[in-house]
Amino acid sequence: MKKTELVAKMAEEAGLTKVQAEAALNAFVETVKEALAEGDEVPVAGLGKFEVRERAARKGINPATKEPIDIPASKAPAFKASTALKALLKK
């Protein structure tokens, strides 16, 4: 599903115009991004939880040179689906 299709479906379901639905979607995305940047979790009931996961520093191998390299610790966004969503997908 593309963003335009999602906006159209949201507008239809919520009784909004497409402009209003797109504004709501953009506001949701920006809010989630800001919360994750601050290290917060964003739970969405019935859907799941957006969170930041920490990756530990580790050793790796450069595939071009086969030499060992140090990979620094980092943070990555993650999404954990709710049990309700998982159950819906198993049908």
CATH superfamily of 3-90: IHF-like DNA-binding proteins (4.10.520.10)
Identify the pLDDT of residue 62: 94
Quickly state the pLDDT bin for 5 (edges 50, 70, 90).
very high
Identify the pLDDT of residue 79: 97
Contacts of 50 (CB under 8 A, 6+ apart): 32, 35, 36, 41, 42, 43, 44, 77, 78, 79
Identify the pLDDT of residue 91: 75
CA dist list (Å): 35 to 7, 16, 22, 79: 22, 26, 20, 13
Reported as a single tens digit per residue, the pLDDT across 40-91 is 999 999 999 999 999 999 999 999 999 999 999 999 999 999 999 999 999 7
pTM equals 0.79
Quickly state the pLDDT bin for 20 (edges 50, 70, 90).
very high
How many residues comprise the chain?
A: 91
